[in-house]
Amino acid sequence: MKTLIVSIVTPDGPVYESDVEMVSAKAQSGELGILPGHIPMVAPLQIGAVRLKNGNNTELVAVSGGFLEVRSEKVTILAQSAEKAESIDVERAKEARARAEERIQSNQAEIDQARAELALRRAINRINVYEHRF
Ligand code: ATP
């Protein structure tokens, strides 16, 4: 089976590096599925799960936006933050979700609303990845 090298990198350092058969990610334009032999490409990502498939095994990484680049059998994802399912602190994410929901409900300035909505999406994404709900 042909494979691609995938690396997921954040400002804090590398989070994931492995050979995989297929990588799926949520681009701004919709769900992307990348297989070996894919043409070179750069795509902005949404807050979402990256799925890394090898045989019957699928690993999940929560990413908070960023960019995906495909170049010569290598996929690089640059994200502001990224966590593998097993390194997610789900209690922290649930607290972040509650804080964001409170902020959204209280009538604040528009800019704070937008920030709270992004924080809410990051928290929900982490909870879903932790619970393997993808
Ligand atoms: P919080 O309000 O809990 O800090 P956040 O969405 O504002 O959440 P980020 O700014 O996206 O947090 O991330 C800051 C750093 O903390 C990153 O390194 C990120 O990987 C890490 N991080 C954030 N939430 C979690 C979590 N629930 N489990 C593990 N790491 C987390």
Write the pLDDT tens digit of every residue in 82-120: 999 999 999 999 999 999 999 999 877 776 889 999 999
Pocket of ligand 1 (CB under 6 A): 12, 64, 81, 83, 87-89, 92-93, 96, 119, 122, 126
Model's pTM, two decimal places? 0.95
Q: For residue 96, how far is its CA from the centre of ligand 1 (angstroms)?
A: 9
Rounded to 5 degrees, φ, ψ at 62 are -85, 125
Question: Are the C-beta atoms of residues 51 and 134 closer than 8 Å to each other?
Answer: yes
Cα–Cα nearest to 67, from 52, 77, 82: 77
Q: Indicate which atom in ligand 1 lies nearest the CA of residue 99.
A: 2
Q: For residue 1, how far is its CA from the centre of ligand 1 (angstroms)?
A: 35
